[in-house]
């Protein structure tokens, strides 16, 4: 068994203050014996405007946010999923929303650039989001071997695209980490059912670390960070507030579940299917 943690925050525009808060929560997770800690999307900055994150973008492998993540992983001897970090793009005015996985030596072992970008208008409260104005989308599916199992990486809006999760399952994903900043409006309607569906469909664990609370930019995020097992059972959750969600993952249980209920082997539709 492994002990994992999802951290819930309400980040603001001050990077230093956000990192200090993240450190406190990482320590809390470590005190509960967490070996893998997942931070939420935009944990280091939720700016007043979308361009604020572009202004503090870091070169890949350099910068204070990445140094912080490496130091925390090494200091506590844990693996960390660094939510998303604004990483420089070759396109002026844009960054990658990069989710970085650090091992217990403080080394980056995987990088996933958010593929699906949140460009929507929420008519109920007139909120508008245009992530593509400041974020360059990634195009690679990422699944990596870890001591906890084969770990797949996704971010927030990716949750609505089951084909991404099935692509990860096709190459062996057993655990999916999902740093997020789900809006309060969409979260109330869709967060839990989508998370449980992705776990059930792919017979995998899901570790969802969400922003949760009111932000200086006027935005409200949903929270309700949770850890879900391959049968869709919520093992632990934090509905509101800043804090840490901790649970044990049992890969033997996952293997038994997949063996007794081999839905992943029953897939019939793929790119070879012809349509008339």
**Whole-number Å distance between alpha carbons of 161 and 197:** 11
**Whole-number Å distance between alpha carbons of 68 and 37:** 14
pLDDT of the residue at 272: 54
pLDDT of the residue at 118: 94
**Whole-number Å distance between alpha carbons of 132 and 256:** 41
pLDDT of the residue at 274: 52
pLDDT of the residue at 267: 87
pLDDT along the chain (276 residues), means of 10: 97 97 98 98 94 96 98 98 97 97 98 96 80 96 98 98 97 98 94 98 98 92 98 97 98 96 88 51
Residues 38-65 have pLDDT tens digits of 999 999 999 998 899 999 999 999 999 9
pTM, full prediction:
0.96
**Whole-number Å distance between alpha carbons of 33 and 5:** 9
pLDDT of the residue at 276: 47
Residues 214-226 have pLDDT tens digits of 999 889 999 999 9
Evaluated on CA atoms 266, 272, 275, 276, the torsion sign reads negative
Q: Evaluate whether 209 touches 237 at the Cβ level (below 8 Å).
A: no
**What would the DSSP string read from start to end of the chain?**
-EEEEEEEB---S-HHHHHHHHHHHHHHHHHTT-SEEEPPTTTT---SSTTHHHHT-B-TT-SHHHHHHHHHHHHHT-EEE---EEEE-SSTT-EEEEEEEE-TTS-EEEEEE--S--EEEETTTTEEEEGGGTB-------EEEETTEEEEE--GGGGG-HHHHHHHHHTT--EEEEEE--BHHHIIIIIHHHHHHHHHHHT-EEEEEEBEEE-TTS-EEE--EEEE-TTS-EEEEE-SSSEEEEEEE-HHHHHHHHHHS-GGGG---STT----
Domain boundaries, the chain: 2-264
Q: Evaluate whether 213 touches 221 at the Cβ level (below 8 Å).
A: yes
Q: State the CATH architecture for 2-264.
A: 4-Layer Sandwich (3.60)
Active site residues: 41, 114, 156
């Amino acid at each position: 068994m492994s002990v994992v943690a999802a951290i819930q925050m309400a980040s603001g525009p001050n990077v230093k203050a956000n990192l200090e808060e993240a450190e406190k929560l990482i320590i809390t997770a470590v005190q509960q014996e967490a070996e893998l800690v997942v931070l939420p999307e935009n944990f280091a900055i939720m700016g007043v405007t979308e361009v604020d994150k572009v202004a503090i973008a870091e070169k890949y492998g350099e910068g204070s946010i990445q140094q912080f993540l490496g130091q925390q992983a090494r200091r506590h001897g844990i693996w960390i999923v660094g939510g998303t970090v604004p990483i420089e793009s070759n396109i002026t005015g844009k960054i990658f929303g990069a989710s970085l996985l650090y091992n217990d030596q403080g080394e980056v072992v995987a990088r996933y650039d958010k593929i699906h970008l949140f460009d929507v208008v929420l008519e109920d409260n007139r909120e508008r989001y245009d992530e593509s104005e400041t974020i360059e989308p990634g195009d690679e599916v990422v699944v990596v071997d870890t001591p906890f199992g084969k770990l797949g990486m996704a971010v927030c809006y990716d949750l609505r695209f089951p084909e991404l999760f099935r692509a990860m399952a096709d190459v062996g994903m057993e655990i999916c980490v999902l740093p997020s900043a789900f809006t309060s409006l969409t979260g109330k309607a869709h967060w839990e059912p989508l998370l449980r569906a992705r776990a059930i469909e792919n017979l995998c664990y899901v570790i969802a670390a969400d922003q949760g609370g009111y932000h200086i930019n006027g935005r409200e995020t949903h929270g309700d960070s949770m850890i879900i097992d391959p049968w869709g059972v919520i093992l632990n959750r934090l509905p509101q507030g800043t804090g840490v969600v901790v649970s044990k993952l049992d890969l033997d249980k996952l293997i038994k579940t997949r063996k007794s209920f081999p839905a992943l082997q029953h897939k019939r539709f793929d790119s070879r299917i012809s349509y008339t």
